[in-house]
Structure 1
Amino acid sequence: MEDKNNLLIGLGTLLLGGIILFLIRDFPKLDDGHPGPALFPGILAGLFIVFGAFLLVQGVRARKQVGAHLPPPGSHEAPPLEGRTYSLQGILNAFCVAAAIVFYIFFVETLGFLITGFLLLIFLMIKLKVPIWKSGILSLLSTLGVYILFAKILKVPLPWGLLGW
């Protein structure tokens, strides 16, 4: 099952990367070698293509390995079960990530990026059983790193919220 998923997702990701590259070909170019509006979509398209190819290769390799372990044709022996199992904890973790994103959307303007990002990360890390002291340090450093990258280097205005008085 996993090999089929890797094949399908790999093909889909390759196709999506190709579509993005096709769509950005007509984006305007800026003077003096400055990156234009096609830069980030182009980077994402390239990543889609690279990782899609990786998944495709993984799926083909897994399919060959599974094929070697299959019973001979005409045999009534059942093939080995290697499917994924889903746990309640895994499903709950996925819902927590979705809830954290909804929390961010509704509270980032009020609380600000720094507070909301920190709270979101520390909540998710504690939920995923990272020790509290590591959660605090990693949440703080990650939030500050993202803030420096976007607000200071890329000059993207991020909401100040409570810190903006």
Structure 2
Amino acid sequence: MKLIQATAGDIPMIQELARRSWENAYAEILSQEQMDYMLSEMYSEKEIGTQLHNPNYHYYLIQDTDHDAYEGFIGYELHYEEKTTKLHRIYLIPESKGKGLGKRALEFLTEKVDESGDSRIILNVNKFNAARNFYEAQGYRVYDEGVFDIGNGFVMDDYLMEFLIHK
């Protein structure tokens, strides 16, 4: 596995990987209308481009070097809060699950966060998303929950999770 820092030229690949992973991860959780809305808002070329211009926001493509294929991505923002990095997104296409790519991507994130001086990683996960179990297996814990209005009559009903880096 290799993590490759994404550039503006990778936006179409990020959009396609997001679409493929969301169709699997959220098919039973969100309506097609909400998925379409969220993908168009969160993964528009403008939105990703803005994030790529933020010096604290980083996207990395997850490459399966055994198969020379891009299988997902991770997007995170250093110094989101004091001493805290926010993992905004980590997605893998369905056929890549179970290969250890997600676990290794989180290990990579922990290294990057530690190097930055932050000591905490936070993320939101949908209350009905099985990914919560994956995060808990990697040492993350639920510290709160929230319902967030995302516009167009839709909300995100999430657990807020954290991982503390012990130095």
Q: TM-score range by the shorter chain?
A: under 0.3
TM-score in terms of structure 2 length: 0.25
Query: Larger C-alpha radius of gyration, 1 or 2?
Result: 1
Between structures 1 and 2, the one with greater helix share? 1
Which structure has the highest strand share of the two? Answer: 2
